[in-house]
């Protein structure tokens, strides 16, 4: 049996993941990799970030990005789905509202109440940009638990 997942299995795994790892490019071309909360909408990865964040500036300068979800501590349990594509700012109000609602629902139990944040954090998180990563090419997937030792 192959360790690769089908596209349906890969997207189901992405949807089920709690935190993704997003990589964007700095002005000098060096990658910067950060954890992010996200939702899947029509087989794209959607997230939000403060409108004044460096992530937004990096995306405007160079939309190339990659995204990874993974788990497993022992070799036989290693699992991952990686995709690359173009990360764009969502400008449509209806799409933005849909992503905000989906993120609020998915992470309701994990968020800090605004009044529990320092004022500077409250201000930074007052206005969000919504970003959407549309994959290009094949998803890179692996699930080592599918590997069977020779008989």
- State the total domains in the chain: 1
Residue 150, domain member (yes or no): no
Residue 1, domain member (yes or no): no
pLDDT at 35: 97
Residue 35, domain member (yes or no): yes
Give this prediction's pTM. Answer: 0.90
pLDDT at 93: 95
Do the Cβ atoms of 69 and 78 come closer than 8 Å? Answer: no
Number of H-type helices and E-type strands within the chain: 4, 8
Residue 75, domain member (yes or no): yes
Residue 136, domain member (yes or no): yes
Query: Measured between alpha carbons, how far is 121 from 80 in angstroms, rounded to an integer?
Result: 32
Residue 2, domain member (yes or no): no
pLDDT at 1: 63
Find the domain containing 78 and state its range: 7-145
| Regions of the chain with pLDDT less than 70 | 1
pLDDT at 125: 74
Query: Measured between alpha carbons, how far is 71 from 38 in angstroms, rounded to an integer?
Result: 16
């Amino acid at each position: 049996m192959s360790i690769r997942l089908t596209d349906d299995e890969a997207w189901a795994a992405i949807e089920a993941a709690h935190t993704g790892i997003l990589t964007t490019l700095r002005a000098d071309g060096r990658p910067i990799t950060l954890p992010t909360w996200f939702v899947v909408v029509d087989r794209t990865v959607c997230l939000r970030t403060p409108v004044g964040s460096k992530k937004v500036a990096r995306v405007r300068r160079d939309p190339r990005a990659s995204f990874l979800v993974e788990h497993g501590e022992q070799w036989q349990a290693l699992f991952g789905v990686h995709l690359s594509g173009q990360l764009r700012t969502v400008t449509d109000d209806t799409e933005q509202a849909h992503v905000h609602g989906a993120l609020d629902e998915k992470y309701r139990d994990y968020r800090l109440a605004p009044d529990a944040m320092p004022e500077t954090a409250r201000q930074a998180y007052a206005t969000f940009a919504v970003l959407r990563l549309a994959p290009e090419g094949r998803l890179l997937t692996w699930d080592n638990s599918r590997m069977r030792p020779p008989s």
